[in-house]
Structures are given as C-alpha cells and as structure tokens.
Structure 1
Amino acid sequence: MSVASRNITDNESILPTLNFWYSFRPVLFAKSIIVGVVTGFLVVALRIGLTAAHDIRKSLYEALPEKPLPIQLGWVFLLVIAGLLIGYTIKRYPLIRGSGIPQVKGALNRQIRLSWFPELFLKFFGGIVGIGAGLSLGREGPCVQLGSYVGLSMLHHSKTPNLERKYLITSGAAAGLSAAFNAPLAGVIFVLEEMHKSFSPLLLVCSMASSTAADFVASHFFGLRPIFDFHAINVIPQEYFHFAIILGIVIAFVGHLFKKALYFFQDFYVRLRIPVILRPVLPLLLSVLLGLYCFDVTGGGHHLIESLCYDNKTLLFLSVLLCLKFLFTTLCYGSGNPGGIFLPLLLIGALVGQIYGGLLQAFGLIDSSHNMNFMIMGMAANFTAIVRAPVTGAILILEMSGNFNHLLGLVGVCMSTYLVGSFIKSRPVYDVLLDRLIHRNPGIFVGNERRKVILEIPVSIDSFLEHKQVAHIDWPEGTVLIGIMRGEKEFIPKPKTEILPGDQLLILASEEDAGKVQMSLIAMGASPED
C-alpha cells in the first residue's frame, strides 16, 4: 500500500482534480461573493413577501369576524387549496420539506443530492404561501437552503464542480442566514460550527465573503439597524449571574422536550396514515382558529418578540402563549410544510426567559428593569439547547440585538445549557432530522464512480487519528491521502508522517463512495465527545 492508497486507478479524472486543487482559490473567492449577492437579493424578496403577507393576514383576521359567512368559508377554502398545492409539491419534491438545513448538511456530507432547479423556486414560493398564511414556521432555514441552491447553480458553469461544491454550498448557506437576520458573523459561525463542526482557512474566507456580500444587499433594503431593538435593556449585574445559570439548566430540558415533540409530530402524520398531500391542510385549518383568537401564535414570531420588550403581559398569558406556540410549531413542522424552526424556537426561548424573569421579580429576587435580560438569554439558551451550537447562539443574539454589552450573560447561559444538554445526551436537532430524512428517503444520493472528489477531514484532540503514523492507519477502501494542511503549511505525507491535532487531511475518493468515506473519516478524526 502506498500512502493510504487502494483501488483508485482511474487517471481520467484524478489528474484534473489534483491540478485544479492548487489553482482555483482566487476564482472560488470571486464566485463566493457572487453567490452572496444573488442570495442576498433572493432573501430580501422572501422577507418582503412574508412581511406583506403578515400585514394582509393581520388585517384579514381583524375584519373576518364581521364578514358574512360566505366570505369566512371562502377564506377557509383558499387555505385548503393552498394546503393541497403545498402537499402535492412536497410529495413530488420531498427535499423542499421543512427547514432545509438538514438537507444542506446532507448535501455537504454527500448523503443527499439537491437539484437547484426547480427546488429553489418551489422552496421560495412554498415558504411564502405556508408561513404567509399563518403557519408557525420561520424563514431562516429556507433562506439557508435557498442560498445553498444558489451555490449549486454556480456549479453548472464550473470545470471542476466536485472541488468547488462544498465551498459554494457553504457560502450560500452562510449568506442565507446572514441576509435573513442581518447577522453576517452568525452566518459564518453557524455553517462552521453546526454544518461542518470544523473549518479550513479557505472555507472560512469563502463563507465570510458571501455572508458579508449578502448582508450588504439586505442592509440596502432594510437598513443597517439590527433586526431586534434591544438597546434599551440594561446590562445584567454580576449578582444575577447565578439566576442566568439556572435559566440555562431549565431551558436545556425545555429544548430537549421541544425536539421530542418535533419528532413525535413527524411520526404523528405517518402513524395516522395521512397522505402527504393532505398533511399541510391540518395546520392551515388550525391557523384560522388561532388567527381569530390568538393571532400572536401564528407566523414566525418576529413581531411578538418585539412586543415582549414593551408590552406588559401577565405570567398567565405568557404561559398560554408558550404552550400554544410550542404545540403549533411542532405540529406545523411535522406536516412537512416548507419552513424552519429558527424564529419560533427563539420566541419560545424568549417566552420561557420572560416567565422566569417575571417569577424572580414577583419574589423580589431581581429588579424589574432586568426582566428583559432573561428574555434575551432565553433566546440564546433555547437555540443552544435545540441546535447544540452555543457560539452561534450567543453571537446570533448579539448581532440581532446590536448590543454587545450582553456578551458575558449570553455566554454563561449558553454554556450551562450546552453542558446540561451533553449530560442528558440531547442530540443536535438537525443531525436527527437528517437521519430521519435519509431513513425515509433511501437512495436520494447516487454518485458517479468515475468522478473523483477531494475530502477535507479535520483531526481533533483525543481523536483516533491523533499522533498515529499514516502507515499504521486502516484507511477506507478506495481512498488516497494526498496531502496534509498544518497551519499555513501544506505537504505530501510519507508512510511515517505523524498526524497531529489540528491537521486537515486531504483525501481523494470516488464520488460514489464519498458520502460513506467522509462520515467514516470524520468519525476517526473527531473527539470522543463529538
């Protein structure tokens, strides 16, 4: 055996793959900027459409009780038709269901093959129709998937799509989240922490370029102000920090329960044998009752989060909102409607945090001026509990609020939530959703044996690969270790080369086996706690 080589003899695609690997970086950087700009405009259109739909829906439900019965029934009929159209679409194109983030993770792991056309357009309009009609889903997951589709569309004009694929999909995903939240830094950190759980300098630069470009476009339309105005909230005193730690522990269990409910309602439709085409109809009909009697529960929840800062709501009313939002969000997501859970989970965290702060205030443990601090920390903690990405959770709330004075409290609450989640073995929601998606849709990725791809595998501390010589490792069949990136240095390994923590291994493999090979090698290079 040469250096990690077995059964790769097809030089037809190996030489072009290797030659282009060392010359495509400037071109890739430029393409990442283009992906960011296009994604920015696409997300802006989605945000404008959803804002208009929210305003129309609010006016409609305010006037609907006074309208004659035929008009009321007409609105219900329109929702049924919309549900059937969405149901038909998700049945024919199952990869546009739900958030879209598990699909993007699967595409990066070569477990799923996404088709940007027509899925991009179906995801866009499906999100506007479903969320705009009142479903408790967010725009952020679809924005991430839309950005990845933009990156995929660029590959059709590439001479080496297998090399550029990971970078352009990642760049598009970062740009989608950046434009959705006006949070370019959170967009970059999210794709690295959650989707890759590692990074290389090139991946970081491409993600930063696309994320910044998308934020520039979004800021042109929506301004430079943060998505939420939390400037008036005081910084939490250090004597309240132990309350923040307790909040993180509480929300770790709330987030775990939310994930269980999410999986339950996915199975709920299957157990009842409700046809896929009919599944979106049920939550849309339920949205009529909620729209009439508790409008705040419908939609993603952006306006409700803002109102929590200024409206004094009773603890009883906040508790009712929390229960309704919790159940309605999980029911909507389980139906397969295009839409994410980002904004709803932030709202759920905000409600838990404000209820918690209200109880502390009622018992005289905190001053009333700091109640809102726990709302903000609840948002970051619930994101950490569900997504299992504490750095993204803290940075996202900081960027969305435009106030970095809350950093210390957010980091503390996110860390306590993350540690408790590890103790109760609460898996990241998108990893579980991806596993369930692949299990229910076998054969959604078929590679080409003649095409070769280069995989980048990070090596973590205490991993199986750490401090092992290349010749002493049982590498997967049909792979070649062609290089090691160690800091700024890149070299071709020898049989006695020792692999160190922090190395990035460059592995040549066939596209057909890349998915299994990548997952196997990532497991070998990961720390035990990962």
Structure 2
Amino acid sequence: QFPFGYRTYMAVIIASLLSAAVTEELTHIGPPLFIEVSYVPVWSYLLLAVLGIVLGALGVSFNWALIAVMDLFQKIPSGLRWLPALAIGGITGALLNALPEATGGGENLVHDLINKQFGVIALLLLTLLRFGGVLFSYASGVPGGIFAPMLSIATCAGLAFGVASVEFLPLDNDFRAACAVAAMGGFFAASVRAPLVGVVLVMELTGGYALIMPVLITCTTAALTAHQLGGRPIYEQLLERTLRLAGEKPDKEPDKTPVQLGTRES
C-alpha cells in the first residue's frame, strides 16, 4: 500500500514538476496534445455540467461493458481464442479504409477530430465504434490498453456535444474544442473515479489552462454521476477480476499495516 502522508505527497509533486521541466528543457516539446482553446462564457458552465452527467453515465457503462466482454471472451475455448483477434484485425482493416478516424490513436487523431468539421451523427458513430473497439480489443488481448483509447472516446463524445451546442445556442465554434478537452477529464473521472487527477491530467496533456474551471466542473459532475449510478473504479474492478480468476478473495478494506515476512502463507 502506498503510504499516504505529507512527505510522500510532496515527493510525488516535486518529482512530477522536475520531470516535466527537465523533459521540456531537453526536448523543447510542450504538451503532447496541445489544443488551442479560448475563454468560454460563464453561462455555458451549465452545459458542461450536463456534459459531465452524460460522461458519468458513459463511464459507468464503459466499466461494466469492459468486464462483461472480458468474462465473455474468457468462456471461449483456449484453442479458439485467436478467432476474436482475427475478426478485430479484419474489421479494423476495413474501417481503416472506410472511416480512418474510427481506428488508430495518438495526438494526431485528437487534433484531426477537432480540426475536421464532423457532424453530430458522424461523431456519435465514431464514439460508438471506438467504444466497441476498445472493449473487444482489450478483452481479446490485442495491444492497445484502455487509457489512450479512453481519451479518443471522450474526444468524440465531447465534440458531438459541442457541435450540437454550437448549432442550437449562441456559442462560438471554439466551444467544440472546449467540450473535447473537458470530456477527456470527465470520462477519465467517471471511469477511474479520480476527478482531481483527471483535471490535472487534461491540463498537462492539452495545455488548456484557460479551461481549468470548465474541466473541473465536468470532472466533478461526471464523478458524482458515476457514484450515484453505483459505478466503481475500473482498475479496482480489473484487480478484483484478476484475483477472482486466480481463486483469491479480494480484501474490501486493505490492511494499512505492513505484513511481516512469515505471517501469511503464500
């Protein structure tokens, strides 16, 4: 267990600041997902709170679906577990030609999604495709993880919300980018259940420090919505699933005291 205390917190903060400063000094590279954003009107904070509620529900659904698909794939006979990977590869190849934005990842993808003028329907379709792609890729063991794909899902969902808002309300087109940035933090907060980490993470990734209040509102409402819906942190659920498959019973309340060698059988 991580020893939560003043010294450890200060050590983590100092190490994070120094690593960021040294990296930027050596590489002269700023935020990896730098997005130019402008100030958004205060009255639009209500819209961002609504976006947080939507992302809270999406995050809980993502966590539940990921565990469910993993359990489903676990039932496939060991000799046939190459079939899902084969199907995912074929579908990804088709999408790469028909709709490239539904595949791949990285900072270029986020920038392309924001810069291109996609409509609401197209963005919702991209959200659905990327949502399903993460579930089946991760469950089948195909490399890709869940963190970076979560950012792409959030970008698509946030842009869809932003485009709809710009179409029906007196908002500048830059509000789309603001929603995309806020959605990254909100979806992370809903799935991982770490709203403050989501705020800091998004600020560091995008450099959108002007949006710290909108992002904070979105992350808070997303985390509260996920809590009210009974959602639990995704990494905690993955750990419990790993222990369940290993035949162990996870502790509900982790022991904070150190366990000395020889006091517990392995």
TM-score after normalising by structure 1: 0.45
**Residue type at the aligned position of 1:229:** F
What CA distance in whole angstroms lies between the structure 2 residues aligned with 1:404 and 1:515?
Answer: 50
What CA distance in whole angstroms lies between the structure 2 residues aligned with 1:369 and 1:209?
Answer: 34
**Residue type at the aligned position of 1:351:** C
Unaligned runs of 5+ in 1: 1-107, 109-195, 444-454, 458-506, 517-530
Corresponding residue SS for 2:259: strand
Higher RCO structure (Cα 8 Å, ≥6 apart)? 2
Residues 515 and 419 of structure 1: is their aligned pair in 2 closer, same or farther, counting only changes over 3 Å? farther
Corresponding residue SS for 1:368: coil
Q: Is the 8 A contact 1:302 1:343 kept in 2?
A: no
Counterpart in the other structure of 1:230: 35
Match status 1:391 vs 2:141? no
Q: Is the 8 A contact 2:39 2:210 kept in 1?
A: yes
Structure showing greater Rg: 1
What CA distance in whole angstroms lies between the structure 2 residues aligned with 1:298 and 1:328?
Answer: 8
Match status 1:329 vs 2:79? no
Q: 1:252 aligns with which of 49, 52, 56?
A: 56
Q: How does 1:153-302 map to 2 (within 5 A)?
A: 196=2, 199-208=4-13, 210-212=15-17, 214-215=19-20, 218-219=23-24, 222-231=27-36, 233-275=37-79, 278=82, 280-302=85-107
Q: 1:434 aligns with which of 221, 235, 239?
A: 239
What CA distance in whole angstroms lies between the structure 2 residues aligned with 1:412 and 1:376?
Answer: 12
Q: Is the 8 A contact 1:358 1:371 kept in 2?
A: yes
Q: 2:151 aligns with which of 309, 331, 346?
A: 346
What CA distance in whole angstroms lies between the structure 2 residues aligned with 1:260 and 1:418?
Answer: 16
Task: Give 1:217 deviation, angstroms.
Answer: 6.2
What CA distance in whole angstroms lies between the structure 2 residues aligned with 1:456 and 1:269?
Answer: 33
Q: 2:176 aligns with which of 354, 362, 371?
A: 371
More helix by share: 2
What CA distance in whole angstroms lies between the structure 2 residues aligned with 1:405 and 1:321?
Answer: 27
Residues 369 and 295 of structure 1: is their aligned pair in 2 closer, same or farther, counting only changes over 3 Å? closer
Q: Percent same amino acid among aligned pairs?
A: 23
More strand by share: 1
Task: Give 1:218 deviation, angstroms.
Answer: 4.4
Q: Is the 8 A contact 2:114 2:159 kept in 1?
A: no
Residues 96-145 of structure 1 show CA distances to partners (whole Å, capped at 9, x for unaligned) of xxxxxxxxxxxx5xxxxxxxxxxxxxxxxxxxxxxxxxxxxxxxxxxxxx
Q: Is the 8 A contact 2:101 2:113 kept in 1?
A: no
Task: Give 1:226 deviation, angstroms.
Answer: 0.8
Residues 212 and 277 of structure 1: is their aligned pair in 2 closer, same or farther, counting only changes over 3 Å? farther
Task: Give 1:393 deviation, angstroms.
Answer: 0.4
Corresponding residue SS for 1:309: helix
Q: Is the 8 A contact 1:247 1:356 kept in 2?
A: yes
Match status 1:410 vs 2:160? no
What CA distance in whole angstroms lies between the structure 2 residues aligned with 1:251 and 1:515?
Answer: 43
| Higher mean C-alpha displacement, 295-304 vs 340-349 | 295-304
Residues 301 and 260 of structure 1: is their aligned pair in 2 closer, same or farther, counting only changes over 3 Å? farther
Match status 1:510 vs 2:260? yes
What CA distance in whole angstroms lies between the structure 2 residues aligned with 1:281 and 1:394?
Answer: 37
TM-score after normalising by structure 2: 0.86
What CA distance in whole angstroms lies between the structure 2 residues aligned with 1:423 and 1:513?
Answer: 39
Residues 247-281 of structure 1 show CA distances to partners (whole Å, capped at 9, x for unaligned) of 11111111111112211220221233354862544
Q: Is the 8 A contact 2:81 2:140 kept in 1?
A: no
Counterpart in the other structure of 2:229: 424
Number of paired residues? Answer: 260
